[in-house]
Every structure is written in structure tokens, then in C-alpha cells.
Amino acid sequence: MTAAVSTAPTRKAASGTFLKLFARNRLAAAGGMILIAVVLIALLAPVLPLQDPYAQDLAQKFQRPFSPGHLLGTDHLGRDILSRLIWGTRLSLVVGVVASFGAAFFGSVIGIAAGYFGGRVDNWLMRAIDMLMAFPYILLALAIVAALGPGLVNALIAVSVVNIPFFARNIRGVTVSLAHKEFVDAARLTGQTDLGIMVSEILPNVLPVIVIAMSTTVGWMILETAGLSFLGLGSQPPVADLGSMLGEGRNALITDPHASIVPGLMIFVIVMSVNLVGDGIRDALDPRLRSGALTRPMARTVVDREAVPPAPEVPALLDVQDLRTEFRVGKRTLHALSGVTLQVRAGECVGLIGESGSGKSVTALSVMGLVASPPGVIAGGTVRYAGQEILGAPFARLRDLRGDRISYIFQDPLATLHPLYTIGDQIVEAICAHHPVPKAEARKRALDLLESVRMPNAASRIDNYPHQMSGGMRQRVGIAMALVNDPDLIIADEPTTALDVTVQAQILSLLDDLRRERNVAILFITHDFGVVAQLCDRIAVMYAGRIVETGPTGAILSDPAHPYTRRLIACVPELGGGRRELHAIPGLPPAVDDLPPGCAFAPRCDKAQPACRGGEIALDGFGETRAVRCLFPENADAEARA
Ligand code: ADP
Ligand code: MG
């Protein structure tokens, strides 16, 4: 699959996926077909060979269905029910759809204005909406029709008005979250008027919400209009919509039930199919539902593997062997990890390095079964902690390890700290999750930790909320939380990427001090060779879900064996290294659902030979401690290994 470049193909693809998603929802598709049939028949009413819906023939009243000349029988005035049904359906559909457009229009205008201007405008508009909402809506509709007088147009207005609050509240909520986004500020900076911004910036973003809200309320509005007509407040005789047909048939419900059952069934069919279609549209349009974000991930990643590789002879602290993690999205399988083998020994710092998208984070999360399932599945390999298998272990064991023996530091501390608790409370919580210690003792421990991560003014800072701190300080809190239960291993996923260079240097030296003081092992994930050089004892280089080279930091930096490693190192500028050209690696990493056979780097490699594209290439050891996955390594020792 190639990435779409211009917007037109993307749009096309998007509408394609919308239809596909919609069609996959069988109920919605069935509802859609029924609805299309009903709408077609209603549209064709003038050209269909129907009898006059108003022609009375009292001699023929209450004919049963299937009687000659009247397929669905006749009503109390001898009028043909089939003809009245089709014309009535037409009327009911028009009124329901127009009412919902009206409600959507006025509701959206009010919602966007309230959300965009905020403050007093918001207050006035929303209080007015609240007043509408204070009445049960059918009562309110009755009151409006009573004031305006009976009639179909007035019923339409009434139904529209009582549905405005639903749209206004929904749209206001979405608009509030958009009104202070950067793109709106940018539009303001270009000098656009408020109206211009609302139309060109806000409206396109709330449009999907409006469509979803409409599709789920049209059915209701058809029903409400029918209800008013049923009570004699909507369409007036001789014109009939489905509601008034039902109302007229009601008098003979026992003796001639068909006169009310037929329109009743039609209302049922229409509302049912409209609602099914509406739900289908909502599910297919809502990007969160599409990506499965609303499905709660399981507490651990699903493990679905055939064979378990045998344990190594000398167990390391963390042993990852041939780990294969996939994302099963629809019919596609993304092979994020295709066999990762990695070891971290006690007290050692191992750097896992690779371009963005190479599978570093997925490796880190797979270790503790934290990859979201669905769609993530661990399809092969093992993870052993101190010689014990983790992936197959009971969940209670995994939970004991998480945050206690093995802890994590993530890239964005603002996203990982809870915004509504003080950092002290959060550190205390991390302690108490594993050790039943009294609150005061836990707090004292939290304070000690904050001091040991060199938090200035720790005693007052402990009661701060995350938003009161700078990025570097928040990351210190993240480190303190990782250290809270004296873990043996910390997995740090790009902990300094979100920080500026000076703060990054401080955090790195802090991590380095801490690991020496406490003898904790670190699996340090980064895309930056400069960072690895400062901190790590060993390096594992990752490309397209595989380790392509491992070895001691110094040896790899001075003498890389894999062409990819060499090119990654060449991307790092050196202070005081004199002038040299920085070479970017041409091309892009391969898509993980379509990996080339053989070496995944071959398409970007300047030394690639036909053999590289042939079959599987093994990670071969050379020297004492190094290994490389390459047929034509750059390093003389590696070349000589065979
Ligand atoms: P990085 O090395 O930058 O940390 P990741 O480990 O996050 O990369 O991602 C590795 C691959 O896995 C990427 O190609 C990404 O598209 C894919 N991936 C990660 N998370 C998901 C997910 N939830 N669903 C589908 N694919 C995912
Ligand atoms: Mg990542």
C-alpha cells in the first residue's frame, strides 16, 4: 500500500472506508436497504398506479386486506389504504427530515456561538436552552402546537423546537474544546472575523458530530410528529400522515384492526431502519469507534503463540527471545516486532536505538504485557525475568512485577501524571499499590525520593500539581515514581525526547548517578546516538521490528558493523568535530504490514546485493560480545566471522 500524497485520494479513501465500515455492520446495511426501498416508493408515489387517496366510497368501507381492488383494504370512509399509506409515508418522512434539519441548523448555530464566544453569551444561550429542557419535550411540543394552532407545519415547528437543545448542547461541548486550539488562534492571527472563523474553522470540525446527531434523531422526530398527528394536532383531514392514519384507525381497533395495524407497522419499519442506519453512520464516522479506542483494552496483552523458545543457559535479569508482537487490525496484520532478541543483565544499561516506528515502544510495552489488546497480540517468543517466564505467567504475578520489580518512565510526563492529584499523592499511591505502609511513612519516602532526584525545594514541591511544574521537573517526578519500590529494572521510553537539550543532559546524568547508586538496570530507548553514548554500556540497534546489531557502546560507535548503524551514527552532529556533512538516510522505513523478504534495510542500503533480498538473515555473533544481522557487514571482524 502506498501512502496517499494529495488530499483528493485521501478523501476518496476515507469515503471508501466509510462505506466499507458501514456495509460491514450487517444490521445497519439491512436497515439502509429497507430505508432506501421505503424512500423510493414514497418518492415514486405520483407516478405509481395508485388510487386517489381521498376518493371516498362508503359502500366499500372497512374492506379487508387482499380484497379485490384494494390490496391493503379500505378505511372507515372506504378510501384505499395502500394509496393513503404511501402518500402518508411520504408526508411523514418529509416532516421528520425537515424537522431534524431545522433542529440541527438552529441547534448548531446556538451551540457554535455559545461554545465559541464563551462567557456571557454562553451563559445566556445555555440558560435559555436549559429552560426549554426543563419541560418534558412532548408536553412542550403540545404547548407549542396549542399556541400556534393545529396543523402539520406547526407540528413540524414544535418538533423542531423541542429538539434544538439536544443539538445545541452537543455542538457546544465540541466547540468549547476547539475554540482555543492553535489552528483557531492562527486563524485569528490572520485577521479573520469571528463569523469567518466559525464557518471555516469550527464548522468543518463539528460537522461529523452534527451528522451523527441528526442520523440518530431523525427516527425520533418522525415518531414525535406521528404522535402529534395521532392526537389530531398534526396533519388535518383529508390529508393524512402515518400518525393521523393511526389515529383514525384507532376507533375501529377491535372490529377492523387492519386500518391501524398497517400504518403502525409502517411507522415501526421506518423508525427501526432509520435508527439502525443512524447507529451505523455513527459507528463508521466516529474515528474513535473506528480505531477501537472505545473498546477497553484488556489488562494484559493477548498471548497467542505456538512454541516457546527454550530458556538460555545463563539467565540474564531480562531475557527477551524471538519476541513477535502483531497488531491485528481488521484483515490486516501489522508485524510490529518480527523476532526481537535482547538481554539486560543486572545493573547494566542497555540502549535500544532506532528510527521512529521501528518498534522500540512496542518492545518496551510487550515486556510487561502492556500493549493494548485488541489490536495487539504477542504471537511468539518469550520474555523471562530473572529466569522466569513472564508472558505465560498468571496475571497476579505480572501485576506484582509491574511498577515494583520492573518500572517504566515514559516520554511525556505530563500525559502520564494525573492532572488532578498532587505529585506527592501520586508517588504515595505508587508505593501503596505494592507495599502496605502507613500514609505518613509513604509520604516521607516520597519526599526522600524527590530529594534524590534533585528536585529543588522538594518539601514544598511535593504538594504541587503536575501543571505547576516545568517539563524537566515533571520528568524528575516520573523518575522518582519509577524508583519508588526500588526496582531491579527500569524501562525508559525516550524519557528525554520531550525536553530541551540542557535539561536532557541533567536528566541523563541523574539517571546515570541513580543507576550506579542503586545498581538498577536500565533499558534505555532512544532514537539519538548522542544520548546512548553518554549513558549506555551496550547498544541494540533496531530496524523494522528486529535487532540488527548489538554490542558494547564504544565498539559500535567507533566501528559499526551494520550499514544502518553506520548511517545512523553519521546523522549525529559532533561538537568540535570540525565541519562535515550530515547525511540523512534516504527513503523511509518499510511499512510493517508489507515487509520485504530478506533484509528490511536492503531497499535503502547502498551496499545491498541480490542475496540480501533473498531469504532470512540471521543475527550472527562475532568477536566476543557483538552480533550483526547483515550478509556484507562493514566491519572486518564481522566479515571474517564465517
Ligand atoms: P517506535 O520505535 O517509534 O517507538 P512503535 O514501537 O511505537 O515505534 O511502533 C512500531 C510499529 O507498530 C509502528 O509501525 C506502528 O505503526 C505500529 N503500532 C504501534 N502501536 C500500534 C497500534 N496500537 N495499532 C496498530 N499499529 C501500531
Ligand atoms: Mg516510541
Q: Closest ligand 1 atom to the C-alpha of 494?
A: 4
The residue nearest atom 22 of ligand 1, judged by CA position, is 327
Give me the pLDDT at residue 124, please: 95
Pocket probe for ligand 1: among 328, 332, 362, 594, the residue whose CB has the most ligand atoms within 8 Å is 362
Q: What is the CA radius of gyration of the chain?
A: 34
CA of 592 to the centre of ligand 1 (A): 9
At the fourth CATH level, which superfamily is domain 2-289?
A: MetI-like (1.10.3720.10)
CA of 359 to the centre of ligand 2 (A): 7
Averaged pLDDT, groups of 10, the chain, 642 residues long = 41 65 83 94 90 84 85 86 92 93 96 94 94 88 90 92 94 92 91 92 90 87 90 86 89 88 93 90 70 66 81 84 87 86 91 90 90 86 89 86 89 83 92 89 91 88 90 87 90 86 84 88 90 89 91 90 87 70 76 81 85 84 87 76 56
Cβ neighbours around 334 below 10 Å, total: 18
Give me the pLDDT at residue 102, please: 96
Q: Is any atom of ligand 1 closer than 6 Å to the C-beta of 546?
A: no
CA of 167 to the centre of ligand 1 (A): 37
Q: Is any atom of ligand 1 closer than 6 Å to the C-beta of 361?
A: yes
Alpha carbon dihedral 495, 499, 501, 505, in 10-degree steps, equals -40
Q: Is any atom of ligand 1 closer than 6 Å to the C-beta of 601?
A: no
CA of 414 to the centre of ligand 2 (A): 16
Beta bridge partners of 543: 546
Q: Is any atom of ligand 1 closer than 6 Å to the C-beta of 336?
A: yes
Q: Is any atom of ligand 1 closer than 6 Å to the C-beta of 357?
A: yes
CA of 566 to the centre of ligand 2 (A): 21
Which stretches of 231-298 are DSSP H helices?
A: 242-249, 258-285, 287-290
Q: Is any atom of ligand 1 closer than 6 Å to the C-beta of 360?
A: yes
Collect all residues with Cβ–Cβ distance below 8 Å to 436 and sequence separation of at least 6. none
Cα–Cα nearest to 186, from 619, 595, 178, 474: 178
The residue nearest atom 12 of ligand 1, judged by CA position, is 336
Q: Which ligand is nearest to the CA of 365?
A: 1
CA of 357 to the centre of ligand 1 (A): 6
Furthest C-alpha separation in the chain? 108
Whether the ω angle into residue 374 lies within 30 degrees of 0, i.e. cis, is yes
Cβ neighbours around 53 below 10 Å, total: 19
Q: Is any atom of ligand 1 closer than 6 Å to the C-beta of 334?
A: yes
CA of 314 to the centre of ligand 1 (A): 31
Q: Is any atom of ligand 1 closer than 6 Å to the C-beta of 590?
A: no
The residue nearest atom 14 of ligand 1, judged by CA position, is 357
CA of 363 to the centre of ligand 1 (A): 10
First to last CA, the chain: 38
CA of 354 to the centre of ligand 2 (A): 10
Give me the pLDDT at residue 4, please: 38
CA of 492 to the centre of ligand 2 (A): 10
Q: Which ligand is nearest to the CA of 498?
A: 2
Cα–Cα nearest to 380, from 326, 343, 333: 326
Q: How far apart, in Å, are the Cα atoms of 266 and each of 93, 261, 270?
A: 11, 9, 6
Q: Is any atom of ligand 1 closer than 6 Å to the C-beta of 128?
A: no
Which residue intervals of the chain bear CATH 1.10.3720.10?
2-289
pTM of the full predicted structure?
0.68
Pocket probe for ligand 1: among 337, 358, 363, 377, the residue whose CB has the most ligand atoms within 8 Å is 358
The residue count of the chain comes to 642
Give me the pLDDT at residue 126, please: 94
Q: Is any atom of ligand 1 closer than 6 Å to the C-beta of 595?
A: no
C-alpha dihedral sign at 43, 44, 50, 55: positive
C-alpha dihedral sign at 357, 360, 363, 364: negative
Strand runs labelled E in 537-632: 538-543, 546-552, 620-622, 626-628
Which 3 state secondary structure label does DSSP give 236? coil
Whether the ω angle into residue 375 lies within 30 degrees of 0, i.e. cis, is yes
Phi and psi torsions of 343, nearest 5°: -130, 140
Q: Which ligand is nearest to the CA of 336?
A: 1
Give me the pLDDT at residue 111, please: 96
